Amino acid sequence: MVADKPFFIEPLFTRDPRLIKQEHILMAMMAIKGIYAEHQVQSLNHGIGFNTAAIELLLPTYGEQLGLKGKICKHWTLNPHPTLIPAIESGWVESVHCFGGELGMEEYIRARPDIFFTGRMARCALTAPSASWRASTR
């Protein structure tokens, strides 16, 4: 099939966190307090975008102020991206089940096998820039 324009793979999370607006922060705070805390959401699947990036970035600060550490947002299913690192490093995240990879995150994933599923049976796609699940049965 011939396309009318070139197509290439880009990182899925190409949004600069510095561009998160006050509206995103407010929505993130409402989601953390009104949904995640209220319903004790421990396992979740975040999409990509400024709204979810704001939630991930606010967990170590706002979530901590609310006394929610260890009670919410412990187990994740998503492509690992940089805005999740503060929550991981501050002890909020216990596990991340990756269905793909994100350019630039390969070394971090390798360095944190305690968080990311990187074993024989299930692992993050450490070398593939696209969102592709890889299962190994070797």
| Structure tokens that stand for 95 in this block | 């596990």
Q: What is the mean pLDDT of residues 66-93?
A: 94
Residue 51: inside a domain:
yes
Q: What is the mean pLDDT of the chain?
A: 82
For tokens 């947002």, name the residue: 73
Residue 53: inside a domain:
yes
Residue 135: inside a domain:
no
Overall pTM > 0.75: yes
Is pLDDT at 64 greater than 90 in this prediction? yes
Residue 137: inside a domain:
no
What is the Cα–Cα distance from 26 to 32, expressed in whole angstroms?
10
What are 25-63's pLDDT values in tens digits?
Answer: 999 999 999 999 999 999 999 877 788 889 999 999 999
Q: Which of 19-28, 68-77, 122-131 has the lowest mean pLDDT?
A: 122-131
How many domains would you assign to the chain? Answer: 1
Three-class secondary structure of residue 15 per DSSP: coil
Residue 85: inside a domain:
yes
Per-residue confidence band for 107, with pLDDT thresholds at 50, 70 and 90: very high
Where residue 25 sits, what CATH number does that domain have?
A: 3.40.1080.10
Residue 10: inside a domain:
no
Query: How many C-beta neighbours within 10 Å does residue 65 have?
Result: 9
Residue 134: inside a domain:
no
| Structure tokens that stand for 65 in this block | 């102020």
Q: What is the mean pLDDT of residues 105-119?
A: 88
- For position 51, what pLDDT does the model report? 85
Is pLDDT at 134 greater than 50 in this prediction? no
Q: What is the mean pLDDT of residues 65-85?
A: 93
For residue 137, CA distances in Å to 46, 100, 110, 123, 129 come to 27, 17, 19, 11, 22
Residue 116: inside a domain:
no
* Containing structural domain, residue 58: 21-111
What is the Cα–Cα distance from 132 to 98, expressed in whole angstroms?
9
Phi, psi for 109 (deg, rounded to 5): -60, -45
